[in-house]
Structure 1
Amino acid sequence: MNNTSKNHTISKIVAKAILRIVMIILILGIAYSFSKDANLLKNISLYFPHKWAIFAPVSLFIIFIVLMVIMLREKYKRSDINWLFSLAGGFLFVYLMMLFARIYPLL
């Protein structure tokens, strides 16, 4: 007999997918920064209007990492942590896509 609910199964699948998608995007960005075209990135300066403009993405990344550690320590057993991680990962994915879309035309 299956003791887990359908919501828990869906939250595990979504959390695993978000984890893999965000990690692939981060690894691709890091790999590109170490590639032979990395000297192009040195000529580009990202402009933040003030110091607080960097606070939101940094805090989102920290929240993502904290939820990832909690989720992996619990081994996807808590569906509420899975959904919170999926939400934070979705926002981080969208933010990274917007950031890369902003940087790419400058190359």
Structure 2
Amino acid sequence: MMDTSKNHTISKIVAKTMLRLFILLLGFAAYLYFSIDTIVLDNMKVSFPHQWAFLFPMLLLIIEIGLLFFMLKHKYSKSDINWLFSLNSLLLNIYLILLYTRIYPLLNFGS
């Protein structure tokens, strides 16, 4: 007989997948950061039009890290924390993808 419900198993799988996707996106950012010249970084102007545009993604990142520690402390045993982490990770991943699509065309790898 199974000890856990189907929802708990699905929440564990989704949480682990979202964690791996988030780490993959951060790895992609680190790769881009270390693969381009510092001259390109100095000349690149990425600006946020309002302070709120920078505050909310940082808040998402702080919540992501807090939920990550709480989720890993309990070893994926709480399905509600798994779902909260998955939702937060989905929103943060979407934001990172949108940010990368905005910054990537500014990088000139050929010149």
- TM tier relative to shorter chain: over 0.9
Q: For 2:2, what is the secondary structure of its paired residue?
A: coil
Q: What is the TM-score of this pair, normalised by structure 1?
A: 0.93
Question: Per-residue deviation at 1:31?
Answer: 2.2
Distance 1:87 1:38 in 2: 35
What residue number does 2:99 align with?
Answer: 99
- Letter aligned with residue 12 of structure 1: K
Q: For 1:34, what is the secondary structure of its paired residue?
A: helix
What residue number does 2:52 align with?
Answer: 52
Q: Calculate percent identity across the aligned residue pairs.
A: 52
- Letter aligned with residue 57 of structure 2: P
| Aligned 8 A contact 1:71 1:78 in 2 | yes
What residue number does 2:87 align with?
Answer: 87
The list of structure 1 runs, each at least 4 consecutive aligned residues, that deviate by more than 6 angstroms after superposition, is none
Q: Which segments of 5 or more consecutive residues in structure 2 lack a partner in the other structure?
A: none
C-alpha deviations, 1:35-77, integer Å up to 9, x for none? Answer: 2x14223321211122222110000000111000100000000
Structure 1 pair 61/78, CA: closer, same or farther in 2 (3 Å)?
Answer: same
Q: Which segments of 5 or more consecutive residues in structure 1 lack a partner in the other structure?
A: none
RMSD: 1.0
Q: What is the TM-score of this pair, normalised by structure 2?
A: 0.90
Query: How many residue pairs align between the two structures?
Result: 106
- Letter aligned with residue 85 of structure 2: F
